[in-house]
């Protein structure tokens, strides 16, 4: 495996709560190789978004990274200045978010929003920026892109808006695209198109991608590797096929069972019993132990380490 493009080491994120600092990301650790597509899955609240916002240094005023390192191309982003981060965002790493309805500025044309990204990072003329914008929009599958530059977000459908956001993200040819549940707010058919688009971009541009989703099957379609998160920690990590077909962590196995596959038969929707642990009330042992069908005494007492096993890593005292 080549040197990783992004290496997240023991990342911790906390925010100020009523009773002092509350840790929501508790030592996340994984890497992304150049051109690799990594999926992050886990129930809502497991710390996926916070981890990635920490990588981008876009945590709001209330939350902050309290430990660990984020090495991108040899540089620790957690130690970089804000000015340096502004250079990196959009040019080397870009991020798109869950809700395309609200993620575009309603007062500006699509063209303005794409060209602004280009002009934030490259000294080009207005007409050259427009040309690059048209190219980016065409690449994400928006037809008649030249005419659509003057359209406003409200004139676009949800899927088109997500495409426009992806166009903004890729306009400067970043090496890493972070997509935080980019399909969650969309219709099922549109979801599949966006997933297909991201796979295509990765193929054509050699882009590395971190694709966050709570739908394991959706992710497994396009990713090389899956990172499973629970309670602010990575609990399992390995090649997509292995995780989908032979997950070893009880949580991953349950997660796999409770989301219908995009193509498979639509069985009864199962859900994992119980609720994720409340923040600030993390159990001392494995965070999943209270809900785990396999849990033993050891699980309640001590957190299992993330142990390497070939190409996979797993944090469980009783892996399957």
Ligand X SMILES: Nc1ncnc2c1ncn2[C@@H]1O[C@H](COP(=O)(O)OP(=O)(O)O)[C@@H](O)[C@H]1O
- Complete DSSP assignment for 42-80: --TTSSHHHHHHHHHT---SSEEEEEEEEEETTEEGGGS
* Of positions 2, 18, 20, 62, contacts ligand X by CB under 6 A: 62
Chain position whose Cβ is nearest to ligand X:
49
**117 to 156: interface string for other proteins, x by CB under 8 A:** x--xx------------------------------x-xx-
* Greatest C-alpha distance within the chain: 67
* Of positions 31, 36, 47, 49, contacts Mg ion by CB under 5 A: 49
313 lies in the binding site for other proteins (CB under 8 A): no
Please report which helix (H) or strand (E) contains residue 2, including its range: none
CB 29 within 8 A of CB 66: no
151 lies in the binding site for ligand X (CB under 6 A): no
DSSP state of 62: S
Q: Which residue has the tokens 């690449």?
A: 139
**CA neighbor of 227 nearest in space, from 45, 25, 31, 5:** 31
225 lies in the binding site for other proteins (CB under 8 A): no
45 lies in the binding site for ligand X (CB under 6 A): yes
- Could you give the 3-state DSSP secondary structure of residue 211? strand
Bridging pattern class, strands 93-96 and 176-180: parallel
161 lies in the binding site for other proteins (CB under 8 A): no
**243 to 282: interface string for ligand X, x by CB under 6 A:** ------------------------------------x---
CB 98 within 8 A of CB 180: yes
Query: How many whole angstroms separate alpha carbon 281 and alpha carbon 264?
Result: 38
42 lies in the binding site for ligand X (CB under 6 A): yes
DSSP percent split of the chain into helix, strand, coil, nearest 5: 35, 25, 40
208 lies in the binding site for other proteins (CB under 8 A): no
Query: Looking at beta carbons only, is 146 or 274 nearer to ligand X?
Result: 274
> Which spans in 123-235 are helix H?
126-139, 145-148, 158-170, 188-205, 216-220
Query: How many whole angstroms separate alpha carbon 227 and alpha carbon 238?
Result: 7
Provide, rounded to whole angstroms, the least separation between the CB of residue 119 and Mg ion.
30
50 lies in the binding site for ligand X (CB under 6 A): yes
Provide, rounded to whole angstroms, the least separation between the CB of residue 296 and Mg ion.
31
For residue 102, the partner it binds in other proteins, ligand X, Mg ion, none, with Cβ less than 5 to 8 A by kind, is: other proteins
* Of positions 20, 60, 267, 268, contacts ligand X by CB under 6 A: 60
Residues that bind ligand X (CB under 6 A): 15, 24, 42, 44-50, 60, 62-63, 279
Residues that bind other proteins (CB under 8 A): 56, 58, 61, 86-91, 94-97, 99, 102-109, 116-117, 120-121, 152, 154-155, 165, 168-169
């Amino acid at each position: 495996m080549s040197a990783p493009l992004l290496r997240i080491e023991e990342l911790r994120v906390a925010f100020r709560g009523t009773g002092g600092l509350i840790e929501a990301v508790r030592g996340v650790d994984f890497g992304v190789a150049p051109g690799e597509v990594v999926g992050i899955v886990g129930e809502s609240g497991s710390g996926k978004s916070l981890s990635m916002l920490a990588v981008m240094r876009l945590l709001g005023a209330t939350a902050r990274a309290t430990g660990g390192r984020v090495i991108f191309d040899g540089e620790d982003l957690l130690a970089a200045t804000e000015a340096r981060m502004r250079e990196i965002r959009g040019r080397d790493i870009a991020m798109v978010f869950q809700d395309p309805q609200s993620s575009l500025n309603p007062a500006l044309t699509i063209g303005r929003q794409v060209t602004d990204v280009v002009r934030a990072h490259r000294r080009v003329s207005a007409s050259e920026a427009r040309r690059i914008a048209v190219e980016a929009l065409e690449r994400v599958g928006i037809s008649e892109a030249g005419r659509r530059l003057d359209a406003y977000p409200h004139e676009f459908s949800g899927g088109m808006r997500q495409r426009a956001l992806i166009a903004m993200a890729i306009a400067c040819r970043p090496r890493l695209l972070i997509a935080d549940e980019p399909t969650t707010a969309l219709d099922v058919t549109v979801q599949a198109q966006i997933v297909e688009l991201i796979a295509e971009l990765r193929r054509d541009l050699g882009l590395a991608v971190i694709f966050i989703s709570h739908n394991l099957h959706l992710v497994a379609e396009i990713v090389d590797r899956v990172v499973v998160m629970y309670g602010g920690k990575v609990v399992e990590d390995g090649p997509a096929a292995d995780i989908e077909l032979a997950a070893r962590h009880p949580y991953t196995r349950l997660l796999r069972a409770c989301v219908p596959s995009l193509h498979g038969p639509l069985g009864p929707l199962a859900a994992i019993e119980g609720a994720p642990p409340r923040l600030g009330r993390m159990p001392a042992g494995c965070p999943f132990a209270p809900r785990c069908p396999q849990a033993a005494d050891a699980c309640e007492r001590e957190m299992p380490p993330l142990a390497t096993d070939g190409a996979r890593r797993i944090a469980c005292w009783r892996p399957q």
